[in-house]
Chain A
Amino acid sequence: MATTYQLSNDVIWPSDLQLPTRPPALVYLDMLGFINLAEVAVGRNAATGYDVLLPAARRARTEGRALFPLSTTHVIELMDIADPQRRRERVAIMEELSGFHYLVGRPEIQQLEVEAALNSIPGVNIAPQDPIPLIGPSLLWAFGRQGGLVTNAPDPDALATHICEEMGIDPGAEPMATLNRWAERELLAGPDDEDPDVRASGFDPQR
């Protein structure tokens, strides 16, 4: 062991960090976990055991017993996957299991934990702030931003329906939610190699 002192079990949970109620249980899968689940989902070989984990994870998710939140690390590691098709396959399983819910970023948690730790010192009194949820419904949440599409249109769903139809997307029963999911999916998966704007910027997939 790399320490000569005994750590106590006195951890101080930041009171300004709003923890979600359970259920659902929060289950963190690292990127390799999602990659292996994606491989099983599309019928390719994966590491042992993921063919068992995938249906169990799906059951737990659809039955509301578990949520598999994403993190900044997933976003960054996904960016390293050059093949857009592979990225989309991984994003599909990430969407299914996370619903595009993200853990708030480490800098935000560090801030709250430092304030809580300081407040435990006699004589220190840092005023509480509005609680910050541990889990947020957007990739941007993981990077300290609110995220989500915003409109000042008088009828957001009508606007969302119009946009979805223009893009060939089925708006479904909740068009704004559908459009938000589309946006989160695109944000996480990134552009295809043939995206005109990407090509215009000088990107060459052959290099």
Chain B
Amino acid sequence: MLDGRARQEQALVEELDKEPRFRQGRLRDVVNARELNIELGDVVTRAAMAMNTSIGQLVDHDRTRLRAFTDCMPSTRVAVTLKAAYHKNNQHTWTTNDIHDIDALSIAVPYCDAVLTDKAARNQLVSSPELDVFNTFMPRKPEQLAQWLDEL
């Protein structure tokens, strides 16, 4: 299953190569839409169908409201930030390790108080202002985490 999810992201690389303009200004919209469809589609569809409606109808097919819907969910906000960052670079080759990392960090960043992760992921997380809302301590070095722990 992880291989399949990595292949899905790799397939998006190829789609974006055909339409490179989407890497410039609308990348988060693209990734948000795929996240809503692929990762959340079953959950959202079941919930909406139980109300005899669809997510599109619930947000009046309004782009701003749809963005707010995906961006308001903590784990999805983190996952989309990381995926959009990786998709910004069309030389990035998606692996199952990327999927592992995103799955883990999408939970850890919003719901934990501190996260120690690899340099590349950490750099992306701390440079994304949309994730400041979580106020998660993300040390660059293990010694920094040690000091933070001692000061608890």
Min Cβ gap B111→A in Å is 6
Min Cβ gap B56→A in Å is 12
Closest to A19 in B: B111
Whether B149 pairs with A110 at a CB distance below 8 angstroms is no
Contacts of B31 in A (CB 8 A): 2
Instruction: Give the interface SS of chain B, mostly helix, strand, loop or mixed.
Output: helix
Question: Would A114 and B43 be within 8 Å (CB), given that A25-B113, A26-B112, A27-B112 are in contact?
Answer: yes
Interface string of A68-95 (1 = CB under 8 A from B): 0101111011000000000000000000
B11 at the interface (CB under 8 A from A): no
Whether A4 pairs with B26 at a CB distance below 8 angstroms is yes
Whether B142 pairs with A52 at a CB distance below 8 angstroms is yes
Q: How many residues on chain B are close to A (CB under 8 Å)?
A: 61
B binding-site residues for A, Cβ under 8 Å: 2, 23, 25-29, 31, 39-40, 43-44, 47-48, 51, 58-59, 64, 67-69, 71-77, 84-85, 87-88, 100-101, 103-104, 106-108, 110-118, 130, 132-134, 141-143, 145-147, 149-150, 152
A binding-site residues for B, Cβ under 8 Å: 2-5, 7-13, 19, 22-23, 25-30, 32-33, 36, 47-50, 52-53, 55-57, 59-60, 65-66, 69, 71-74, 76-77, 103, 106, 109-111, 113-118, 120-121, 124, 126, 134
Min Cβ gap B132→A in Å is 8
Q: Quick one: which of A5, A66, A69, A76 has the most chain B CB within 10 A?
A: A5
Identify 7 residue pairs between A and B in the complex whose beta-carbon atoms are under 8 Å apart, listed by A's number: A7-B71, A11-B134, A28-B104, A65-B152, A103-B108, A114-B43, A114-B47
